[in-house]
């Protein structure tokens, strides 16, 4: 597999090739997802929920994303690596936003950053792009605003709301974003926006008409034990696998079946003789 760049993604849209993106938060997972052929790996602030156990993505810090990005970068050779800008990090002075995005690339090793927000953030996007930082947009449901929204709900359900969403998408594209995530948007609206843009859209809960799809790793692998969104598809049952394997281990330890000969090292015969005589 070839290395994926932001240019590759644009070409994929032009040739009608779908983009497969998934979140990753650590080295072993990144290595496996690279092996599986993922085009884009996202160090999403969803890690606040699926890894840290928080109720929202709001508590996630820039340091958290830098830390996880480093691990993912070590494991992934081919996919484009995109890191989330956490809550509030895109709302300061442009120099501050630039420095924060710079940390994700310089300390973390990300190839691009993702920003939640619409046309109000277009000037920030333009500033980052001018500095050589590729930016992925994120509109529709923006989980960082959960407390303002009053919950995680589908966005763009009226024609007026859909038109505002298209305006946001167009402003982000004009500012130089290389792709846009559409989260929890009716399929017809997502398809309409996708057809109106030159850059690819990556959907999550946004139907099949997007140029690509993204899922949260833990949800996609059946590793999540709490709330699982309706738009998710679990491609594996990791939680069940881990619980039954760990139960087996507990049973074998308590029964004395683990470790067995296969996992055991013995003393050489002459040392064993000495041990036995000194013990006597």
The values of phi and psi at residue 83, to 5°, are -115, 140
Is the previous residue joined to 120 through a cis bond, with omega within 30 degrees of 0?
no
Q: How far apart are CA 251 and CA 185, in angstroms?
A: 47
Q: How many residues bind ligand KIV (CB under 6 A)?
A: 10
Smallest distance, ligand KIV to C-beta of residue 2, A: 24
Q: Tokens at residue 165, please?
A: 């969403």
116 is in an annotated binding site: yes
Instruction: Choose which of 26, 34, 45, 183 interacts with Na ion (CB under 5 A).
Output: 45
CB under 6 A: which stretch of 5-13, 37-45, 88-96, 151-159 binds ligand KIV?
37-45
Q: Considering the rule CB under 6 A, would residue 90 count as an interface residue with ligand KIV?
A: no
Closer to Na ion by Cβ: residue 144 or 194: 144
Q: Considering the rule CB under 5 A, would residue 48 count as an interface residue with Na ion?
A: no
Q: Considering the rule CB under 6 A, would residue 44 count as an interface residue with ligand KIV?
A: yes
Please return the burial class of 209, using the count of CB atoms within 10 Å of its CB with bins 0-12, 13-18 and 19+. middle
Point out which residues pair with 179 in neighbouring strands: 136
Smallest distance, Na ion to C-beta of residue 95, A: 24
At residue 87, the 3 state secondary structure works out as coil
Positive or negative CA dihedral for 225, 229, 230, 234?
A: negative
- Residue 188 designated active-site: no
Q: Considering the rule CB under 6 A, would residue 216 count as an interface residue with ligand KIV?
A: yes
Q: Considering the rule CB under 6 A, would residue 84 count as an interface residue with ligand KIV?
A: yes
Scanning 198-268, the segments in alpha helix (DSSP H) are 217-220, 238-255
197 binds, among Na ion, ligand KIV, none (CB under 5 to 8 A by kind): none
Q: Considering the rule CB under 6 A, would residue 137 count as an interface residue with ligand KIV?
A: no
Q: Considering the rule CB under 6 A, would residue 144 count as an interface residue with ligand KIV?
A: no
29 binds, among ligand KIV, Na ion, none (CB under 5 to 8 A by kind): none
Closer to ligand KIV by Cβ: residue 44 or 222: 44
Q: Considering the rule CB under 5 A, would residue 44 count as an interface residue with Na ion?
A: yes
Per the residue annotation, which of 183, 188, 191, 271 is the catalytic one? 183
Q: Considering the rule CB under 5 A, would residue 183 count as an interface residue with Na ion?
A: no
Q: Token match 């590759």: residue?
A: 8
119 is in an annotated binding site: no
46 is in an annotated binding site: yes
> Among candidates 202, 185, 160, 267, which has minimal Cα distance to 44?
202
Q: What is the DSSP string of 90-137?
A: TSS-HHHHHHHHHHHHHTS--SEEEEEB-GGGHHHHHHHHHTT--EEE
Chain residues that interact with Na ion, rule: CB under 5 A: 44-45, 84
Catalytic residue numbers, as ranges: 183
Binding positions for 3-methyl-2-oxobutanoate are 45-46, 84, 114
Binding positions are 45-46, 84, 114, 116
């Amino acid at each position: 597999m070839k290395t994926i760049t932001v240019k590759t993604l644009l070409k994929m849209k032009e040739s009608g090739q779908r983009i497969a993106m998934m979140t990753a938060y650590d080295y072993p997972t990144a290595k496996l997802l690279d092996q599986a052929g993922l085009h884009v790996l996202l160090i999403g602030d969803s890690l606040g929920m699926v890894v840290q156990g928080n109720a929202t993505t709001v508590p996630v810090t820039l340091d958290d994303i830098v830390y996880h990005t480093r691990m993912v970068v070590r494991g992934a050779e081919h996919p484009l690596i995109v890191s989330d800008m956490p809550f509030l990090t895109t709302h300061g002075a442009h120099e501050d936003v630039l420095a924060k995005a710079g940390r994700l690339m310089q300390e973390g090793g990300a190839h691009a950053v993702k920003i939640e927000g619409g046309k109000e953030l277009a000037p920030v996007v333009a500033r980052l792009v001018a500095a050589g930082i590729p930016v992925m947009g994120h509109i529709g449901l923006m989980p960082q605003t959960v407390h303002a929204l009053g919950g995680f709900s589908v966005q763009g359900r009226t024609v007026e709301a859909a038109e505002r969403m298209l305006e946001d998408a167009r402003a982000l594209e004009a500012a130089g974003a290389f792709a846009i995530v559409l989260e929890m948007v009716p399929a017809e609206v997502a398809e309409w926006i996708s057809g109106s843009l030159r850059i690819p859209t990556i959907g999550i809960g946004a139907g099949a008409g997007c140029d690509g799809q993204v899922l949260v790793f833990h949800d996609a692998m059946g590793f999540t034990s709490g709330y699982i969104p309706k738009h998710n598809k679990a491609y594996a049952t990791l939680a069940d696998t881990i619980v039954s394997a760990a139960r087996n281990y507990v049973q074998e330890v308590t029964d004395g079946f683990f470790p067995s000969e296969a996992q055991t090292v013995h003393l050489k015969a002459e040392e064993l003789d000495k041990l036995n005589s000194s013990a006597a």
